[in-house]
Structure 1
Protein backbone atom coordinates (compact mmCIF):
# COMPACT_ATOMS: atom_id res chain seq x y z
CA UNK A 1 0.00 0.00 0.00
CA UNK A 2 1.30 3.44 -0.91
CA UNK A 3 0.58 6.04 1.73
CA UNK A 4 3.60 8.32 1.19
CA UNK A 5 4.66 9.38 -2.31
CA UNK A 6 7.67 11.58 -2.98
CA UNK A 7 8.38 13.36 -6.28
CA UNK A 8 11.99 14.27 -7.02
CA UNK A 9 13.60 16.54 -9.60
CA UNK A 10 16.65 18.80 -9.53
CA UNK A 11 15.63 22.17 -8.07
CA UNK A 12 12.19 21.33 -6.65
CA UNK A 13 10.71 24.45 -8.23
CA UNK A 14 9.30 23.23 -11.58
CA UNK A 15 8.64 19.56 -12.31
CA UNK A 16 8.31 17.91 -8.90
CA UNK A 17 5.99 20.53 -7.36
CA UNK A 18 3.86 20.39 -10.51
CA UNK A 19 3.61 16.60 -10.23
CA UNK A 20 2.94 16.86 -6.50
CA UNK A 21 0.03 19.23 -7.09
CA UNK A 22 -1.44 17.21 -9.97
CA UNK A 23 -1.37 13.93 -8.04
CA UNK A 24 -2.88 15.58 -4.98
CA UNK A 25 -5.74 16.81 -7.20
CA UNK A 26 -6.08 13.41 -8.88
CA UNK A 27 -6.39 11.62 -5.54
CA UNK A 28 -8.45 13.87 -3.25
CA UNK A 29 -9.34 12.35 0.10
CA UNK A 30 -7.11 9.33 -0.59
CA UNK A 31 -5.16 9.63 2.64
CA UNK A 32 -1.91 9.53 0.67
CA UNK A 33 0.76 12.00 1.82
CA UNK A 34 2.25 13.54 -1.33
CA UNK A 35 5.44 15.60 -1.21
CA UNK A 36 8.37 16.71 -3.35
CA UNK A 37 12.05 17.54 -2.99
CA UNK A 38 15.08 18.31 -5.11
CA UNK A 39 18.47 16.69 -5.58
CA UNK A 40 20.01 20.20 -5.75
CA UNK A 41 17.07 22.14 -4.41
CA UNK A 42 16.80 25.89 -4.49
CA UNK A 43 15.92 25.64 -0.81
CA UNK A 44 13.08 27.89 0.28
CA UNK A 45 12.25 29.13 -3.21
CA UNK A 46 8.63 29.10 -4.37
CA UNK A 47 7.47 27.28 -7.47
CA UNK A 48 8.95 28.87 -10.60
CA UNK A 49 6.74 31.71 -11.85
CA UNK A 50 6.39 30.19 -15.33
CA UNK A 51 5.50 26.77 -13.88
CA UNK A 52 2.91 28.49 -11.70
CA UNK A 53 1.52 30.39 -14.69
CA UNK A 54 1.19 27.15 -16.67
CA UNK A 55 -0.59 25.44 -13.76
CA UNK A 56 -2.89 28.45 -13.36
CA UNK A 57 -3.55 28.52 -17.09
CA UNK A 58 -4.83 24.97 -16.82
CA UNK A 59 -7.19 25.93 -14.01
CA UNK A 60 -5.07 24.78 -11.06
CA UNK A 61 -4.55 26.66 -7.82
CA UNK A 62 -1.61 24.98 -6.07
CA UNK A 63 -0.92 25.54 -2.40
CA UNK A 64 2.14 27.69 -1.62
CA UNK A 65 5.38 25.76 -2.17
CA UNK A 66 8.89 26.05 -0.73
CA UNK A 67 11.68 23.99 -2.29
CA UNK A 68 13.28 21.34 -0.08
CA UNK A 69 16.56 19.47 -0.36
CA UNK A 70 16.15 15.71 -0.69
CA UNK A 71 17.60 13.70 2.18
CA UNK A 72 17.77 10.07 3.29
CA UNK A 73 14.96 10.49 5.81
CA UNK A 74 12.51 11.67 3.13
CA UNK A 75 13.42 8.71 0.94
CA UNK A 76 13.12 6.29 3.86
CA UNK A 77 9.66 7.61 4.80
CA UNK A 78 8.30 7.35 1.24
CA UNK A 79 6.69 4.15 -0.07
CA UNK A 80 7.14 5.35 -3.65
CA UNK A 81 9.72 7.78 -5.07
CA UNK A 82 9.00 9.15 -8.54
CA UNK A 83 11.73 10.94 -10.48
CA UNK A 84 11.83 12.75 -13.81
CA UNK A 85 14.97 11.29 -15.45
CA UNK A 86 16.90 7.99 -15.44
CA UNK A 87 19.96 9.66 -13.89
CA UNK A 88 17.83 10.74 -10.93
CA UNK A 89 17.04 7.11 -10.12
CA UNK A 90 20.79 6.55 -9.74
CA UNK A 91 21.12 9.71 -7.63
CA UNK A 92 18.33 8.67 -5.26
CA UNK A 93 19.77 5.16 -4.88
CA UNK A 94 23.26 6.58 -4.30
CA UNK A 95 21.82 8.66 -1.45
CA UNK A 96 19.72 5.80 -0.08
CA UNK A 97 20.55 2.32 -1.49
CA UNK A 98 17.48 0.73 0.11
CA UNK A 99 15.30 2.86 -2.21
CA UNK A 100 16.16 0.67 -5.20
CA UNK A 101 12.82 -1.19 -5.24
CA UNK A 102 10.62 1.85 -4.73
CA UNK A 103 12.16 4.46 -7.05
CA UNK A 104 10.76 4.78 -10.57
CA UNK A 105 10.42 7.24 -13.40
CA UNK A 106 7.26 9.31 -13.25
CA UNK A 107 6.91 8.32 -16.91
CA UNK A 108 7.25 4.59 -16.17
CA UNK A 109 3.82 3.70 -17.56
CA UNK A 110 4.47 5.85 -20.65
CA UNK A 111 7.31 3.66 -21.98
CA UNK A 112 9.78 4.98 -19.36
CA UNK A 113 9.35 8.53 -20.60
CA UNK A 114 11.71 11.13 -19.15
CA UNK A 115 10.34 14.58 -18.30
CA UNK A 116 12.73 17.29 -19.56
CA UNK A 117 13.68 20.14 -17.25
CA UNK A 118 12.10 23.41 -18.45
CA UNK A 119 14.05 25.59 -15.98
CA UNK A 120 15.36 28.81 -17.57
CA UNK A 121 13.58 28.06 -20.82
CA UNK A 122 10.54 29.63 -22.39
CA UNK A 123 6.86 28.99 -21.73
CA UNK A 124 6.77 26.40 -24.53
CA UNK A 125 9.23 24.19 -22.63
CA UNK A 126 7.15 24.53 -19.45
CA UNK A 127 3.96 23.73 -21.35
CA UNK A 128 5.60 20.66 -22.89
CA UNK A 129 6.82 19.41 -19.50
CA UNK A 130 3.42 20.11 -17.96
CA UNK A 131 1.69 17.98 -20.60
CA UNK A 132 4.07 15.08 -20.00
CA UNK A 133 3.73 15.39 -16.22
CA UNK A 134 -0.05 15.48 -16.47
CA UNK A 135 -0.14 12.30 -18.57
CA UNK A 136 2.35 10.53 -16.32
CA UNK A 137 0.55 11.50 -13.11
CA UNK A 138 -2.74 10.20 -14.53
CA UNK A 139 -1.06 6.92 -15.42
CA UNK A 140 0.14 6.49 -11.81
CA UNK A 141 -3.15 7.67 -10.28
CA UNK A 142 -4.97 4.96 -12.23
CA UNK A 143 -2.67 2.28 -10.77
CA UNK A 144 -2.45 3.27 -7.12
CA UNK A 145 -4.17 0.63 -4.98
CA UNK A 146 -5.72 2.92 -2.37
CA UNK A 147 -7.27 5.23 -4.91
CA UNK A 148 -10.81 6.27 -3.98
Structure 2
Protein backbone atom coordinates (compact mmCIF):
# COMPACT_ATOMS: atom_id res chain seq x y z
CA UNK A 1 0.00 0.00 0.00
CA UNK A 2 1.33 3.40 -0.96
CA UNK A 3 0.44 5.96 1.70
CA UNK A 4 1.41 9.11 -0.21
CA UNK A 5 1.18 9.27 -3.99
CA UNK A 6 2.64 12.33 -5.69
CA UNK A 7 2.00 13.12 -9.35
CA UNK A 8 4.43 15.44 -11.15
CA UNK A 9 4.47 17.51 -14.33
CA UNK A 10 5.93 20.92 -15.17
CA UNK A 11 3.45 23.66 -14.27
CA UNK A 12 1.02 21.67 -12.08
CA UNK A 13 -1.98 23.19 -13.84
CA UNK A 14 -2.83 20.65 -16.59
CA UNK A 15 -1.53 17.07 -16.49
CA UNK A 16 -0.60 16.36 -12.88
CA UNK A 17 -3.76 17.85 -11.34
CA UNK A 18 -5.88 16.00 -13.91
CA UNK A 19 -4.20 12.76 -12.89
CA UNK A 20 -4.39 13.65 -9.18
CA UNK A 21 -8.13 14.32 -9.16
CA UNK A 22 -8.91 11.42 -11.50
CA UNK A 23 -6.90 8.97 -9.35
CA UNK A 24 -8.55 10.27 -6.16
CA UNK A 25 -11.94 9.81 -7.81
CA UNK A 26 -11.12 6.27 -8.94
CA UNK A 27 -9.71 5.22 -5.57
CA UNK A 28 -12.72 6.55 -3.69
CA UNK A 29 -13.05 7.74 -0.13
CA UNK A 30 -12.41 4.35 1.41
CA UNK A 31 -8.85 4.12 0.06
CA UNK A 32 -6.12 5.07 2.53
CA UNK A 33 -3.73 6.69 0.04
CA UNK A 34 -3.19 10.45 0.01
CA UNK A 35 -2.93 11.67 -3.61
CA UNK A 36 -1.37 15.05 -4.39
CA UNK A 37 0.50 16.75 -7.22
CA UNK A 38 3.25 19.30 -7.80
CA UNK A 39 5.22 20.87 -10.63
CA UNK A 40 8.89 21.05 -11.49
CA UNK A 41 8.34 24.70 -12.47
CA UNK A 42 4.93 25.24 -10.94
CA UNK A 43 2.75 28.23 -11.59
CA UNK A 44 2.39 28.40 -7.81
CA UNK A 45 -1.04 29.27 -6.51
CA UNK A 46 -2.76 29.13 -9.89
CA UNK A 47 -5.89 27.01 -10.45
CA UNK A 48 -6.13 24.30 -13.08
CA UNK A 49 -6.02 25.41 -16.68
CA UNK A 50 -9.60 26.21 -17.76
CA UNK A 51 -9.64 23.67 -20.59
CA UNK A 52 -8.10 20.91 -18.46
CA UNK A 53 -10.66 21.63 -15.74
CA UNK A 54 -13.55 21.57 -18.22
CA UNK A 55 -12.49 18.22 -19.70
CA UNK A 56 -12.13 16.79 -16.19
CA UNK A 57 -15.59 18.11 -15.21
CA UNK A 58 -17.08 16.46 -18.29
CA UNK A 59 -15.89 13.16 -16.81
CA UNK A 60 -17.66 13.91 -13.51
CA UNK A 61 -14.50 14.86 -11.63
CA UNK A 62 -14.14 18.32 -10.06
CA UNK A 63 -10.64 19.77 -9.80
CA UNK A 64 -11.88 23.26 -8.99
CA UNK A 65 -10.14 23.35 -5.60
CA UNK A 66 -6.69 22.75 -7.09
CA UNK A 67 -3.91 25.29 -6.65
CA UNK A 68 -0.51 24.67 -8.20
CA UNK A 69 2.47 24.04 -5.96
CA UNK A 70 6.19 23.73 -6.47
CA UNK A 71 7.88 20.34 -6.22
CA UNK A 72 10.38 20.20 -3.37
CA UNK A 73 12.84 17.63 -2.12
CA UNK A 74 10.73 17.36 1.05
CA UNK A 75 7.67 16.36 -1.00
CA UNK A 76 9.74 13.78 -2.85
CA UNK A 77 11.10 12.31 0.38
CA UNK A 78 7.65 12.17 2.00
CA UNK A 79 6.05 10.38 -0.95
CA UNK A 80 5.89 6.61 -1.18
CA UNK A 81 5.12 6.60 -4.94
CA UNK A 82 5.90 9.36 -7.45
CA UNK A 83 4.30 9.29 -10.89
CA UNK A 84 5.74 11.56 -13.59
CA UNK A 85 4.40 12.49 -17.01
CA UNK A 86 7.66 12.37 -18.99
CA UNK A 87 11.00 10.61 -18.91
CA UNK A 88 12.68 14.01 -18.52
CA UNK A 89 10.63 14.58 -15.35
CA UNK A 90 11.85 11.26 -13.94
CA UNK A 91 15.43 12.34 -14.66
CA UNK A 92 14.93 15.78 -13.09
CA UNK A 93 13.40 14.24 -9.97
CA UNK A 94 16.43 11.94 -9.77
CA UNK A 95 18.74 14.97 -9.87
CA UNK A 96 16.69 16.76 -7.17
CA UNK A 97 16.52 13.80 -4.81
CA UNK A 98 18.65 10.80 -5.84
CA UNK A 99 17.32 8.88 -2.84
CA UNK A 100 13.81 9.04 -4.37
CA UNK A 101 14.81 7.37 -7.65
CA UNK A 102 13.49 3.93 -6.69
CA UNK A 103 9.96 5.21 -6.18
CA UNK A 104 9.63 7.33 -9.34
CA UNK A 105 7.79 5.91 -12.35
CA UNK A 106 6.04 7.13 -15.45
CA UNK A 107 2.26 7.34 -15.24
CA UNK A 108 2.34 5.34 -18.49
CA UNK A 109 4.66 2.65 -17.02
CA UNK A 110 2.24 -0.28 -17.39
CA UNK A 111 1.20 0.65 -20.94
CA UNK A 112 3.74 1.88 -23.49
CA UNK A 113 6.13 3.50 -21.02
CA UNK A 114 5.91 6.72 -22.99
CA UNK A 115 5.62 10.40 -22.28
CA UNK A 116 2.26 12.10 -21.83
CA UNK A 117 2.58 15.35 -23.81
CA UNK A 118 1.86 18.77 -22.35
CA UNK A 119 -1.35 20.30 -23.75
CA UNK A 120 -0.66 23.74 -22.27
CA UNK A 121 -1.59 26.59 -24.65
CA UNK A 122 -2.96 24.17 -27.23
CA UNK A 123 -6.45 23.69 -28.56
CA UNK A 124 -9.10 21.57 -26.86
CA UNK A 125 -8.40 18.40 -28.91
CA UNK A 126 -4.92 18.26 -27.37
CA UNK A 127 -6.46 18.36 -23.88
CA UNK A 128 -8.93 15.62 -24.80
CA UNK A 129 -6.10 13.46 -26.14
CA UNK A 130 -4.01 14.02 -23.01
CA UNK A 131 -7.00 13.27 -20.78
CA UNK A 132 -7.44 9.94 -22.57
CA UNK A 133 -3.75 9.10 -22.00
CA UNK A 134 -3.96 10.09 -18.33
CA UNK A 135 -7.17 8.10 -17.92
CA UNK A 136 -5.46 5.00 -19.33
CA UNK A 137 -2.38 5.56 -17.17
CA UNK A 138 -4.44 5.99 -14.01
CA UNK A 139 -6.47 2.88 -14.82
CA UNK A 140 -3.31 0.85 -15.36
CA UNK A 141 -2.00 1.76 -11.89
CA UNK A 142 -5.18 0.89 -9.96
CA UNK A 143 -4.37 -2.81 -9.57
CA UNK A 144 -1.07 -1.91 -7.88
CA UNK A 145 -2.54 0.55 -5.41
TM-score scaled by length of structure 1: 0.95
Unaligned stretches of 5+ in structure 1?
none
Q: CA deviation at 1:63?
A: 4.7
Unaligned stretches of 5+ in structure 2?
none
CA contact (8 A) 2:47 2:64 kept: no
1:119 corresponding residue in structure 2: 120
Q: CA deviation at 1:108?
A: 0.1
Residue 80 (structure 2) pairs with residue 79 (structure 1):
yes
Deviations 1:51-99 (A, max 9, x none): 0011112222235011000000000000000000000001001100001
How many residues end up aligned between the 2 structures? 144
Choose 3-12 or 25-34, whichever is displaced more: 25-34
Q: CA deviation at 1:110?
A: 0.7
- Counterpart-to-counterpart distance in 2, 1:61 and 1:73: 27
RMSD: 0.8
Residue 16 (structure 2) pairs with residue 16 (structure 1):
yes
- Counterpart-to-counterpart distance in 1, 2:119 and 2:69: 19
SS at match of 2:110: helix
Divergent runs of 4+, >3 A: none
Residue 19 (structure 2) pairs with residue 27 (structure 1):
no
